Structure formats: C-alpha cells, structure tokens
Amino acid sequence: MASHRWLGVLAHRDFRLYFIGRATSFIGTGMLPVALSFAVLGRGGSTSEVGWVLSADVFPLGIFLLVAGVIADRINRRAVMLGSDLLRCVAQAGLACWLLLGRPPLWGFMVLEFTVGIGTAFFTPAMTGLIPQVTTPETLHQANALNGAAQSAGTLIGPAIAGVLVATVGSGWAVASDAISYAVGALCLARLRVGWSGAEGEESGSLVHQLRAGWQAFASRTWLWSVVAQFGTLGLLSFPPFFVLGAVVAKQSLGGAVGWGTVLACQGAGATLGAGLMLRFQPRRPMVAGELAMLGWVLILVTLALRTSLPAMSVAGFLSGIGFGVFGPVWDTTMQRRLPPEVLSRASAYDWFGSMVLLPIGFAIEGTVASLLGVAGALWLGASWLALTIAAVLAIPSVRRMSNLTAEPVAARL
C-alpha cells in the first residue's frame, strides 16, 4: 500500500513504457552539456564557441515550437514524439561518428545540434499533452513527478558518465550513448496503445486559427504568462552563465570535466530528491512552493562567481537541483489540470516558446557579456536577476493565491 501511494502510476502499462523510454533518453541527454562543452574546448574552441554550439541546440525551439504545438493537438502526439526521437537519434549518431573518426569543424557541431533541436521542439509540447493520455486524473501529479524524477536522474547519472567518458575515451562515446537513448525512447513510444489517429477534441480551421486559440488559452491566464515571462528573461541572463561559464570555471578551478560533471551530478541528485518528494506530496500553494524552490539557483551562481571549493559548489548544485525537481511537477500538473485538453499542447508550446526564446541569444552572447563584466560579474548579474524575478512573480495575486484544492475560477485567469 505504501509503495502504491508513491509509485501507483506505474500500474498503467502505457505509462510504464513511456517512463522507461524517457528515463533512458534523459540519461543520454544529461551527458551532452559535458560532452559538447569539452568536445568544443578540446578542439581549441573558445568560450564563445561553446555558447554557439549550445545555442544551436535550443535555437530551433524559437522557430518550430508554436507550429509543433498545433501539429501535436491536430494530428497525434505519439506520432510526433516518435518522429522526433528518430530524428534526434540520427543527428546524434552522425555527430558521434564524426567525433570518433575525425575532428568536426564548428559548423558541423552547429548543424547537427540544430537538427537535434528541431526534434526537441516537436517533442516537448507533444509530451505535455501525452502524459494525461497514458495515466489517470488521480495519478496525474504522480506521473509528472516521476517524469521529473526521470529527467533529474538523467542529469545525475548522465554528467557523471560523460565526465568519465570524456576523461578516458573521449566525448564521442558520450554523444553515441545519447543517440542510443533516443532509439530506446522511440521503441517504447512505438509500443504504446495510444492510438495513431488525431488528438481527441481537435479543432478544425487554419494554422493561424489554431495558433490564435492556443494564444487565447495562454494569454487569458496571468499566472501562466507571468511565470513564462520570468523564465524567458532567466534564459537570457541567469541560465547561460551557469551552463557556459560553469564549464570555464570548472576547467580553471575544478580540474576540468570530472569536476564539472560532479557539480552537475549533485544538481541531478537534488532534482531527483525534489521530484521524488513530489511523488507523495502536493503543495497546497503549488506556485509559491515552486518559486521559492528556485532560490537554490541563486546560490549556485553565487558559488561559481566566488570560485568556492568543489564541495561548496556541489552542495549549491544539489540545492539548485531541488528547485527544478519541485518546480517541474507542480508546473506541469497545474497546466494540465487548468487548461482544456484540446489546446494543451498549443498552450504548452507558448509556454516553452516564451521560456526558451531568449536562451539561444543568452548562450550566443555569454562570451561577450563575460568579456565586458568578467566571468564573476556575469554570474553575479544572473544571480541578482533571478532573485528579483522570484520576488516579482510572487507579488502577483493569481500566483500567490493559487491552490491545488480548488478548480480554476474565472478571476484567476485575469
């Protein structure tokens, strides 16, 4: 009975298959920040080039996400996700072969990671809409928590594996492992019993009409667009310093790939714990809990700016991971419970678009920002902005007062 309260969602066959595929894929994806960063640095690349490669992976989100949301709602979420996994598998396999057999130029990294980003752009909004289809309303929060735990475990296990592989046999094997993980994800999606027909409740009309319907569902809810706006600015000012400059600080002060992999692994452990706690507990004020949990990211940016010891950075990474582990499930469950199912993927696409649209720019300019402010200055800027936006969002009544005990009233949308 106790295990059912924590893991009862695994009783559903389709969710078990979905979970196996996602858990495997998340481990492979968790290797990439370490593998790509040190692959670029290993060929003599600069900090700016690391940022450009990471930017190429997320840039397609700003181009394709909105169309992907329409396609997922209108055609079939499972088919979209399967095609996305196959595309990412082929692209990562190509990069892995190039790394193992030669010395790919910068444009090779960027083209192949751009292709991976296209797959991610189509996969992400479809995933948000598919989860309610492979579980029940009673286990929806648990399903999101377990999905978050799988992602967090990937950031725990993946960087540790990548750090060892980079230090011993090279980054190509880490990228190859990611390609294999996408193949496993595609196989699990192919075995789901969710039908191949169009999504239930789909709307007719043009692409523009369906985009407008998704926008109305998104823009009419202040709690939704305000948090998305917050994460959009964090993608410009707060997250790029961590991912780009963190590797630079690690190379200079923590012994390189193994040290940075340790910090990311501790972050994954914290995220796994946070998501694991969400398997059993649902905060009464979900958005307040999610926002406050994000304060851990302020701490990791500060410790990087101060170039503290590896143990101190690891603890800070662990606390920042708890933030994502808590925020992710409460955010996904809130959206899935408070948005109409027939527009869920489109609204999710606007969510991801707004949250990610500035991230490629942030990655691309991070080298310039660091040259102007210094590495420490760029990290301090990211930490300060993150703390300010948390306070601003919590000042919004519809965020602060939202409860998981009540349905969404009309006033909460305004």
359-383: buried (b, 16+ CB within 10 Å) or exposed (e) per residue? Answer: bbbbbbbbbebbeeeebbebbbbbb
Residues 334 and 212: beta-carbon distance below 8 Å: no
Q: Give, in order, the Cα–Cα distances in Å from 275 to each of 47, 301, 328.
A: 32, 22, 8
pLDDT in tens, 88-135: 999 999 988 888 887 888 888 889 989 988 998 888 888 887 888 888
Q: Which two tokens stand for residue 68?
A: 């992907």
Give 66 or 229, the one with higher predicted confidence. 229
Q: What is the mean pLDDT of residues 288-306?
A: 91
pLDDT at 410 over 50: no
pLDDT at 205: 61
Find, among 312, 272, 274, the residue nearest to 292 by Cα: 274
135: tokens are 């579980």
Cα–Cα dist 203/206, whole Å? 9
Percent of the chain beyond pLDDT 70?
90
Please check the confidence at residue 197 and state whether its pLDDT lies above 90: no
Instruction: State the residue for tokens 């992976």.
Output: 57
Mean pLDDT of 328-350: 83
pLDDT, residue 199, reads 46
In whole angstroms, what is the distance from residue 140 CA to residue 178 CA? 28
> What does the pLDDT read at residue 12?
80
More confident residue, 408 or 288: 288
Residue 235 phi/psi, 5-degree rounding, is: -65, -20
* Rounded Cα–Cα distance for residues 198 and 190 (Å): 16
pLDDT at 411: 38
What is the rounded distance in angstroms from the CA atom of residue 242 to the CA atom of residue 245? 6
CA separation (Å) from 221 to 65, 229, 337?
Answer: 20, 12, 13
Residue 250: closest CA among 385, 92, 50, 26: 50
Q: Which two tokens stand for residue 82?
A: 């399967």
Highest mean pLDDT among 25-39, 119-133, 220-234, 361-375: 220-234
Quick one: which of 33, 67, 68 has its CA closest to 53? 33
Q: What is the pLDDT of residue 234?
A: 93
**pLDDT score for 13:** 86
pLDDT at 88: 92
The residue ranking higher by pLDDT, 52 or 188, is 188
Q: How high is the mean pLDDT of the chain?
A: 82
Report pLDDT for 192. Answer: 86
Whether 230 shows a pLDDT value over 90: the answer reads yes
Placement of tokens 């420490």 in the chain: 376
Contact 290, 275 (CB under 8 A): no
Residue 238: both structure tokens together: 């707060």
Is the pLDDT reported for residue 383 higher than 50? Answer: yes
Residue 194 has pLDDT above 60, yes or no: yes
Distance CA 5, CA 202 (A): 34
Count other C-beta atoms under 10 Å from residue 397's C-beta. 12
Q: Could you tell me if 241 and 382 are in contact, meaning their C-beta atoms sit under 8 angstroms apart?
A: yes
Q: CA-CA distance, 19 to 27, in Å (whole number)?
A: 12
Residues 6 or more apart whose Cβ sits within 8 Å of residue 341: 129, 132, 200, 201
For the cut 90, the answer to whether the pLDDT of residue 388 exceeds it is: yes
pLDDT in tens, 156-167: 777 778 878 778
Q: How far apart are CA 274 and CA 293, in angstroms?
A: 9
CA distances from 322 to 13, 156, 263, 319 (A): 29, 12, 13, 5
Q: What is the pLDDT of residue 45?
A: 66
Phi and psi of 238, rounded to 5°? Answer: -110, -40
Element (H, E) at 144: helix 140-168
pLDDT of residue 80: 87
Q: What is the pLDDT of residues 241-252, one digit of tens each?
A: 998 888 788 877
What's the CATH architecture for 9-193+204-413? Answer: Up-down Bundle (1.20)
Single pTM value for the model: 0.71
